A and B are shown apart, each in its own frame.
Chain A
Amino acid sequence: MITEEQTKKEEIQPVVKVSNLVTQFFTYKGIVKALDGVSFEIRPGEILGLVGESGCGKSVTATSIMDLIPDPPGRIISGEIYIDGFNTLADLNRQAKIIIKSETNVKVKRNKRYIKRHNFIMSHIRGNKISMIFQEPSLSMNPVMRIGDQIMEAILLHSKIEIADSIIRRETMTDEDIRKFYEDAVKTKTHLDLRGFVHKWSQDYGVAEAEDGIIEIIERNDQNAIQELKNIVAEQKTNIKLKYIQLEREYERYNNLLFDLNLQLMEAESKNDSLKINELREQIKRTQAYIRSKFSGYRLIKRFIGKRIEEPFRREARRRALELLKLVNIAGPDRVINSYPHELSGGMLQRSMIAMALSSNPKILIADEPTTALDVTTQAQILDIMKDLNRVTKTSILFITHDLAVIAEMCHRVAVMYAGNIVEEAPVKEIFKNPKHPYTVGLLKAIPRPDVKVNKFEKLESIKGSVPNLINPPSGCRFNPRCPFKMDICEREKPKLVDIGGGHKVACFLFENADGSRKEVE
């Protein structure tokens, strides 16, 4: 039973927590310091907007969380990313050693073993606990695969156990089911009705061969009929199909166990708990050996008749894919599921992408400018869908955009990024009503507003200067060359995020904590 305390604790625990994330790209021109200690968290059921100019590191933040930074040239240098309470960067230092000889001469020594394990762990987390949708839906779908196949691929990757369970549940009848079926069957009036009834039922439960026998029994209408019916169903049920489904389920379960053990091992390694490390390593070895011994024959069979084993899984996955497409309000899901990406419009594709991302009920959905490439009416529809999903399924969303209007429409909280730093973070109303950081103020002034009368010949206000080159970023506060309130300290020191009350955080020397200190807040 879940106590009240536990639920409370779960509520507090953020689904994603990023702290001091540093990501850099080693290019021929020098090291691009794309992220410079980014910290934020996303709470359950929350939509967090991440806003900033292009090139400020919004997308790099998202791809770092997903661990999709192209390597080479990019690497996460340090930081912690907690996804659902687990630090995916726990063994970051073991994966690779970075030797910086000069700006243009950086060597990365990779440790293949740890990278392989990291990829194994991440492939269980990606698309499962955390999903992502991208800016260009027409480029983000594989052009030579049907939409349905792409959604089904995601479903089959992460929900095989659930699918197996639902197939087994559907294909195994209880005594009560059979009794009820018999009574219903006897009630049907004509022979033709009865035939149709039995036919549909036996098709559904995979006992089509027994159809005639079942009808005969029902027509005889004696007391032993039910027992006989049970025997027939039981006989047909011990079919080979179900056996394979169970085997596949077991196989998947052991793979998940291996994933869990690896997670624990990674955690133990980061804590240097040698006793636990040895124990876990031993356990992983045993599990691997067990999988090899128990499933080697099955895997060999699967190589030859894999398609037939996959068939019931695919049918069930297809059913789920259709449901998902309905969930994102696609018109004619039966047609869309068989279409190729080039046959659909951008809006339809983005909906399919959302359906794909939601296939395994992720804790969080990262949306990287999901509406930028779409026209305005479609934009509104996509935003509505995402808002509804957030309300109904309580999926948290990290919403990345440069469009402040969209932020105002969608988000609960907003984080403003500038040149690889988060400069301000606050509830959405607070940001628009009471922006603190000079950059945010400038950003808000740069929006054309119909309610504020501007002289025709006056220009819209813009922030002076341009985005800094991140190979040689300004020292101290990276905004200082463009800041109208620049002080001496701004060039020397990097401002920390301080809480000025009401969950409003600013990284600027003009402000201090509500209690008057300048201590960094978590």
Chain B
Amino acid sequence: MELRYFIIRRILLLIPTLIGLTLLTFILVRALPTSLLLSQYVNPHSTLPRSVQIAHAKALLGLNYPVPVQYFFYLSALFHGEWGFMVSNFYTGPVLTGIEEFFPNTLQLTIFAVILSIIISIPLGTYIGSRPNSVADHAGRIFSLAVYAMPAFVLALVLQIVLGRGAITGNPLGVFPISGTFNYALVPFPVPSWLTSPNTSALVSHPTHLIIFDALIHHNYAIAYSGLLHIVLPVITLTLGILAGIVRFLRAGMMDNMRQEYVKTARAKGVPENVIIKRHIRKNALIPTVTVLGLLFASLLGGVVLIEDVFDYPGMGLLGINAITSYSIYGVMGVTLVFGLVLVFANLIVDVVYAFLDPRIRY
């Protein structure tokens, strides 16, 4: 089957997937005790009796309808952009606006991490995979196992201590700032309009909400450079977390394919060894690696919540954590839904790449 038909079919398959995703987030909310939800609507100082207040709130939230009908109310609210309201120390305002302001930061971290890890891991995996049991192989394996075994937040702390500016007095390697999106001391006075947000204590830039990009647009190169320095440590932490997995899978795939019959055929044709590795073995070895990449992306999203907390980087993770600690159910719902969406689309990309690499998949 042609690749483009596969892609079209795979995109059509997104529709049931997304319906399933909304169903899951809906069930998540319905599984919570309703009294927690209702408690926000009860005013202890009101003259109205408690039971009447609860009845009013129930009617207001549509909780008297059957559950399937409620699901359609939920869907319609989603499509109308009514994702609820959240109150927390970190952010207060409509959930959708909060996601709009903080999601770009998370996306920026993960995309940088994915690109960087692919750029590093594929040549590295090819190199050590084609030289099994060499010194480079052992070194690479020990390194990747060590990084793989280390929890992301421990790695983050180690990097902060080793490479962080001011973490330890006189740290010779301390170049990179350890928290925030950029150096607030660089903000000019009065604060320019592109740097303010009515809802949050953090400084949020406009129009893309990505500080590096917005600063460049507004010709504030000092802030852009500072922003760039600030993402280095979180991106390295995230990269190392998934890098090891890719390298190990690629290495195993290379070694497995090296023993296959078709490699013997290629040698019998007179193909030089380096071409055999690049053209024949690696393309086959990448197939399982890409599958793993899809799974690793999920762990990356989990990791980004911790990393944003450790580096105090205002993104979806921090928003989610604050929504949880301030009992903001709509905030949790919104963040969950967005993470779910990202994962679904990331897997779509993985599937397309997979089909591109392996013609046997396109049935």
Contact = CB atoms under 8 A, between A and B. Distances in A.
Contacts of B284: 142-144
A131 B264 CA distance: 12
A126 B264 CA distance: 11
Interface in A124-147: 124-128, 131-132, 134, 136, 139-145
A420 B267 CA distance: 24
A357 B270 CA distance: 11
B46 interface: no
Contact of B261 (A123, A139, A157): A139
B262 A142 contact: yes
B269 A127 contact: yes
A143 B271 contact: no
A131 B284 CA distance: 24
A97 interface: no
A158 B280 CA distance: 18
Contacts of B262: 139-143
A208 interface: no
Contact of B268 (A124, A127, A136, A141): A127
Interface stretch (B21-29, B78-86, B177-185, B355-363): B355-363
B236 to A, nearest CB: 30
B268 to A, nearest CB: 4
A158 B272 CA distance: 12
Interface residues of B, number: 22
A123 B360 contact: no
Contacts of B260: 139
Interface string B279-296: 110011001000000000
B256 interface: no
B266 interface: yes
B265 interface: yes
Contacts of B264: 68, 134, 140
A131 B287 CA distance: 30
A491 interface: no
B104 to A, nearest CB: 34
Contacts of A145: 280, 283
Interface in B224-262: 260-262
A66 B266 contact: no
Nearest to A127: B270
A356 interface: yes
Nearest to A342: B360
Nearest to A122: B270
Contact of A68 (B267, B279, B283, B359): B267
A119 B357 CA distance: 29
Contact of A153 (B267, B269, B283): B269
A157 B265 CA distance: 14
Contacts of A142: 262, 265-266, 280, 284
Interface of B: 260-262, 264-273, 279-280, 283-284, 287, 357-360
Interface of A: 66, 68, 119, 122-128, 131-132, 134, 136, 139-145, 153-154, 157-158, 340, 342, 353, 356-357
Given A139-B262, A145-B283, A157-B269, 12 more contacts: A66-B267, A68-B264, A123-B272, A128-B270, A134-B261, A136-B261, A139-B261, A140-B265, A154-B269, A158-B270, A342-B359, A356-B269
Closest 9 CB pairs of A and B: A127-B270, A127-B269, A126-B270, A139-B261, A132-B268, A340-B359, A142-B262, A154-B269, A140-B265
